[in-house]
Structure 1
Amino acid sequence: MDLQIAAALVPLLGWAVHGSILTHRLVSARRDPLTGLHTRAGWTARAEHCIRRHPDAAVLLLDLDHFKTLNDTHGHAAGDAALVATADRLRTWCGRHGTAGRLGGDEFVAVVQDLTAADLDALIAALHRPLHYAGRSLPLAASVGVCRLAELPMPLLTDALAAADAAMYAAKGRSRRGSRLSR
């Protein structure tokens, strides 16, 4: 009888292991392997939930300035270090009141429950701190675009991302003339 029980348990054990592997792959697919931030799919699900629950939520889109130059001058390892540092700074700023993600390349996104409670100037300062890499201090800078959902006719994530993107590119244009932020 023990042999029959063991024979019945073997397939169940196999399915349990298979389920565990699939779960791990799904979780991994929603995390960027370099930065540990949510990917677009993982971030979008969390952002949608946040904006439904928090009418004062805001969406931020940020792009590293001169990232190609950093990569070309100091190498891809330095570029990766810049991406990881940016992700860490953004994740720390979001804290428990928001969610950060990496959309790809040097483009990041965040949603925060209440922008008035968040210190946006602290984020800007953190994103502009130099990166210490291989005994050198490398300059980092980012252009940030912000969209407060309360300012939209309908609080939709797609519209907020489009508005934050437009604000980011406006900030990027002004950063070449000395300004760093569009709100």
Structure 2
Amino acid sequence: MNTLLHTMASAGPLAAAWGVHGLLLRRRLTAARHDPLSGLWTRAAFEARAARVLARRPHVAVVLADLDGFKTLNDTHGHAAGDMAIRSTAAALTDAVSGHPGAVCGRLGGDEFAAVVPLASPVALPWLLRGLHDEITAPFRYAGRDLRVGVSIGAALSTDLTNAPSANRFGLLLRLADEAMYAVKRSGGGWSYPAATTPVTGSTAGRRTGRDGTHTTLRKGAS
């Protein structure tokens, strides 16, 4: 009996230590899945959650937002101002989707953001995009002055892809949102949600050919 009590007494601190270790590990894993600047989900974590939302909700908007004038802001006011613009955009995105339970937001990299937003009805999409555009382009305060950035926003609706394979659904919706965003960016910014069901442009590594971060491989002998 004394041996059993001694063993239990010895195991108590060890179990407590493992409990603390597990808690710290979970916190570190959670932190690693969040972008440190914006506080939003990183790309991989966002995509995993986005796929689950699409599988569970009947009407889902996939939204892609890319800032306009971000480089000029950085060059004119410094990178700290650019960091503030990223944080301001993340706050605006989070606020704009706060009325839609189950929505997920992420920073895909640089000045590109995305969200998957469950909707009560597809007709709610224009109000969502208009509100998001207005919030992101509102002035933010930095170093005692008001600064602002523009934004181009594209979206695609899950109800437009009812026949798409579930395994590829999110990737295709993100591509369509990307094309809508790119089209509106070429026209000077704003927001758009054309009811396209197949990508118009070619793909490079799963993304729209010609966008930042993509390139084509030249054939041997090509110049």
> If the length of structure 2 is used for normalisation, what is the TM-score?
0.75
- What secondary structure, in the 3-state scheme, does the structure 1 residue paired with 2:141 have? strand
Whether contact under 8 Å (1:131, 1:140) holds in the other structure is no
Q: Does 1:62 align with 2:65?
A: yes
User: For structure 1, which runs of at least 5 residues remain unmatched after alignment?
Assistant: none
Structure 1 residue 113 displacement after superposition: 0.7
Q: Aligned letter for 2:134?
A: A
**How big is each residue's C-alpha offset from its partner over 1:13-61, in whole Å with a ceiling of 9 and x where there is no partner?**
2211221111111111121111111111222222112111222211000
Task: Judge which range, 128-137 or 100-109, deviates more.
Answer: 128-137
> If the length of structure 1 is used for normalisation, what is the TM-score?
0.90
- Partner residue of 1:13 out of 11, 16, 27: 16
- Partner residue of 2:177 out of 159, 164, 179: 164
The equivalent residue for 1:117 is 124
The equivalent residue for 1:108 is 113
- What secondary structure, in the 3-state scheme, does the structure 2 residue paired with 1:55 have? coil
Question: What is the number of equivalent residue pairs in this alignment?
Answer: 180
Q: Does 1:145 align with 2:154?
A: yes
The equivalent residue for 2:204 is none
The equivalent residue for 2:186 is 173
* 4+ long deviations beyond 2 Å: 1-6, 115-118
Higher RCO (C-alpha under 8 Å, 6+ residues apart): 1
2 CA distance for matches of 1:17 and 1:112? 35
CA RMSD of aligned residues (A): 1.7
Whether contact under 8 Å (1:59, 1:110) holds in the other structure is yes
- What secondary structure, in the 3-state scheme, does the structure 2 residue paired with 1:143 have? strand
Q: Which has the higher helix share?
A: 1
Q: Identity rate of aligned residues, in percent?
A: 45
**How big is each residue's C-alpha offset from its partner over 1:135-170, in whole Å with a ceiling of 9 and x where there is no partner?**
212121111011111112416101011111111111
- What secondary structure, in the 3-state scheme, does the structure 2 residue paired with 1:95 have? coil
- Partner residue of 1:34 out of 32, 37, 58: 37
**How big is each residue's C-alpha offset from its partner over 1:89-115, in whole Å with a ceiling of 9 and x where there is no partner?**
000011142221111111100011125
